Chains A and B, each alone.
Chain A
Amino acid sequence: MTDSQRSNVLHLGVIALLAVAFFILPTYHVGNLSRIMVLAVYAIGYNFLFGYTGLLSLGHALFFAAGMYGLGLSMELLDLTSAPALAIGLASALTISAVIGFLALRTSGVSFMIVTLMFAQAGYLSILYFGSYTRGDEGFVIQQADRVMFGLDLSNDTARYFAALVLFSICFLAIARLVQSPFGRTLIAIRENEERARMLGYNTVAHKLKAVVISGTISGLAGAAYALLFGYAGATFATVQYSIFPLLWVLLGGAGTTIGPLIGVIFMFYLIDLSSSITSAYMLIAGVVLVLLTLFAPQGLAGELRKRVFKWMP
């Protein structure tokens, strides 16, 4: 088997496993997995910029919220149905990420982190400021009757699970393909040594801007899907916490690996879930585990697997 065949088997295998999980896992875990898959889409978007392009953003909550509110507000205020609202959610995330990327890419390293963080804070405060439309912190519920797409009732557990699976699969496979394309390999080159990439004749600024837009749009898609599938949009999702989450997921799962984002979200979700069933100081347990993992698996779970066993993993 060639490396690319192996990686196809891996990706299709993960998707098949998730499909089978619906039929064998108890309802509680099936519900969790729907949420995990949508959050994994967010992590995939983040990983594309952080893991493959080497740009650490602390402002991705803005893109997630752009998708969430683009969809939510156009359904709430304009009475659009779910499909055009989803398109508006995507368009908002795309536009905002293009503008933020254009401005923030004038900086690099720590300054890039701070600039993206500041823009995301500005976005969060704008949501609060326009509270008469967005209902601020309290947020708003998307009515069950509106959560229908192509005749499917997305508030139904089965439809929701498979909608999340389809969404996840599309993003998962598309990114796996993209990172192995010439474009993706150039991004990896920029991550490894930007000056060298530039002196090979690549327009590194244009490449990085495209990466921000792709990453931001996928994050926005996750935000829109989250609102649609779980019926709620609120300002919490625009807070700095939601910019840190994808960074943690990706670091734990393995930055720059295609399956890292999913593994990271599953791990973190169940780490908090299990530790909170033991003690109310669950963040203490979660914190210790995170520190241990950072010490002993600095490249994340999938990153360590790639280093030790599966060197071909994309």
Chain B
Amino acid sequence: MDAMTILSTKGLTKSYGGIKANTDIDFALPRGKTMALIGPNGAGKSTFVGMLCGRIPATSGDVFFEGENINALPAHQRISLGIAYTFQITSVFAGLSLHENVALAARRRLGADVAAVDAKVADVLARVGLAERTDQNAGDLSYGHQRLLEIAMGLAQDPRLFILDEPTQGLADSEVADFITLINTLAGETTILLIEHNMDVVMQTATHITVLNAGEVLAAGTPDEIRANTAVQAAYLGTSDA
């Protein structure tokens, strides 16, 4: 484990009964970079990040964060270490205001310091473009805005590692463009792990790409390397010359 790696896994495996969702995944996430995790539907991407942040218990294998083995830590303690996670299916506090949604995310770190929490909330809501809606109920927002709120809740935690599970799913084209801009402004501030289907988003944000297929790592490298990789082309396009 070198200082350039913020998170890594060794032999990470998840099986449901006899079916292996993830098999022996060795993975290293470079610090301060934006890594995209891609792969066809059912490749095991969500299972993999679920095991990283502790929502899904691993069958075997190890997860290291900042060099420490975090296998034994429950999800809330992993989050406390600085791993923020946004859900694939939007999961906000629908009955609470936007301000309170984000404040809950900020408060875990900032505690009872009301001024600091309020400042943080105002800052991240402005950043995702929801500043005027701060007193609205989260449940009244459009789907796209709820996704942005999810991202704001992640940002409010000042994460060291920010895991986004399909953040652009269901967004309009203009919203996707804004999202790409937002992620690129975060680059360098924090490490980002992005699960993404939209290849435009991946190519415009990621510095590294890991491809999962059938629960195994198919390829890993820079966007150019991945684009040129014949195995990846085969998995995605079904060409037989691989």
- Interface window among B31-39, B63-71, B88-96: B88-96
Count contacts on B: residues with CB < 8 A to the other chain.
27
Q: Is B79 part of the binding interface, using a Cβ–Cβ cutoff of 8 Å?
A: yes
Residues of chain A contacted by B153 (CB below 8 angstroms): 200
In the complex the two chains form, is A201's CB within 8 Å of B92's CB?
Answer: no
In the complex the two chains form, is A197's CB within 8 Å of B75's CB?
Answer: no
Q: Is B227 part of the binding interface, using a Cβ–Cβ cutoff of 8 Å?
A: no
Q: Is B13 part of the binding interface, using a Cβ–Cβ cutoff of 8 Å?
A: no
Residues of chain A contacted by B92 (CB below 8 angstroms): 193, 196
In the complex the two chains form, is B76's CB within 8 Å of A204's CB?
Answer: yes
In the complex the two chains form, is B85's CB within 8 Å of A199's CB?
Answer: yes
Q: Is A185 part of the binding interface, using a Cβ–Cβ cutoff of 8 Å?
A: yes
Q: Is B216 part of the binding interface, using a Cβ–Cβ cutoff of 8 Å?
A: no
Q: Is A34 part of the binding interface, using a Cβ–Cβ cutoff of 8 Å?
A: no
In the complex the two chains form, is A193's CB within 8 Å of B91's CB?
Answer: yes
Residues of chain A contacted by B96 (CB below 8 angstroms): 188-189, 192
Nearest-Cβ distance from residue B131 to partner chain A, whole angstroms: 20
Q: A182-B111, A192-B95 are in contact. Are A199 and B104 (CB under 8 A)?
A: no
For residue A186, which residue of chain B has the nearest CB? B104
In the complex the two chains form, is A202's CB within 8 Å of B76's CB?
Answer: yes
Chain B window 90-134, contacts with chain A (Cβ cutoff 8 Å), 1 for yes, 0 for no = 011111100010011101110110000000000000000000000
In the complex the two chains form, is A196's CB within 8 Å of B76's CB?
Answer: no
Chain B window 30-55, contacts with chain A (Cβ cutoff 8 Å), 1 for yes, 0 for no = 00000000000000000000000101
* A181 to B103 alpha-carbon distance, docked (Å): 12
Interface members, chain A 263-314 (any B CB < 8 Å):
none
Q: A192-B94, A196-B93 are in contact. Are A201 and B87 (CB under 8 A)?
A: no
In the complex the two chains form, is B76's CB within 8 Å of A182's CB?
Answer: no
Range for the number of chain A residues in contact with chain B = 10 to 19
Q: Which of B77, B91, B93, B100 has the most CB of A within 10 A?
A: B93
In the complex the two chains form, is B79's CB within 8 Å of A197's CB?
Answer: no
Q: Is B185 part of the binding interface, using a Cβ–Cβ cutoff of 8 Å?
A: no
Interface members, chain A 151-208 (any B CB < 8 Å):
181-182, 185-186, 188-189, 192-193, 195-204
Q: A181-B112, A185-B100, A189-B104 are in contact. Are A201 and B157 (CB under 8 A)?
A: yes
Q: A182-B112, A189-B96, A192-B93 are in contact. Are A200 and B105 (CB under 8 A)?
A: yes
Q: Is B60 part of the binding interface, using a Cβ–Cβ cutoff of 8 Å?
A: no
Q: Is B80 part of the binding interface, using a Cβ–Cβ cutoff of 8 Å?
A: yes
Residues of chain A contacted by B91 (CB below 8 angstroms): 193, 195-196, 199
In the complex the two chains form, is A198's CB within 8 Å of B95's CB?
Answer: no
* A69 to B138 alpha-carbon distance, docked (Å): 46
* A197 to B92 alpha-carbon distance, docked (Å): 9
In the complex the two chains form, is B79's CB within 8 Å of A201's CB?
Answer: yes
In the complex the two chains form, is A200's CB within 8 Å of B94's CB?
Answer: no
Residues of chain A contacted by B85 (CB below 8 angstroms): 199
Residues of chain A contacted by B105 (CB below 8 angstroms): 200
For residue A189, which residue of chain B has the nearest CB? B104
* A155 to B53 alpha-carbon distance, docked (Å): 59
For residue B106, which residue of chain A has the nearest CB? A200
Residues of chain B contacted by A202 (CB below 8 angstroms): 76, 108
Q: A199-B53, A199-B87, A200-B153 are in contact. Are A185 and B75 (CB under 8 A)?
A: no
* A193 to B96 alpha-carbon distance, docked (Å): 10
Q: List 13 A-B contacts (CB under 8 A).
A: A185-B100, A185-B107, A186-B107, A189-B96, A192-B93, A195-B91, A196-B92, A197-B104, A198-B75, A198-B76, A199-B53, A199-B55, A201-B109
| Sample of 12 more A-B contacts, CB < 8 Å, known A198-B75, A201-B108, A203-B77 | A185-B100, A185-B107, A192-B95, A193-B91, A193-B93, A196-B93, A199-B55, A199-B85, A199-B87, A201-B80, A202-B76, A203-B74
Which 8 A-B pairs have CB atoms at the shortest separation, nearest pair first?
Answer: A201-B79, A192-B93, A201-B80, A201-B108, A196-B91, A189-B104, A203-B76, A192-B95
Residues of A within 8 A of B (CB): 181-182, 185-186, 188-189, 192-193, 195-204
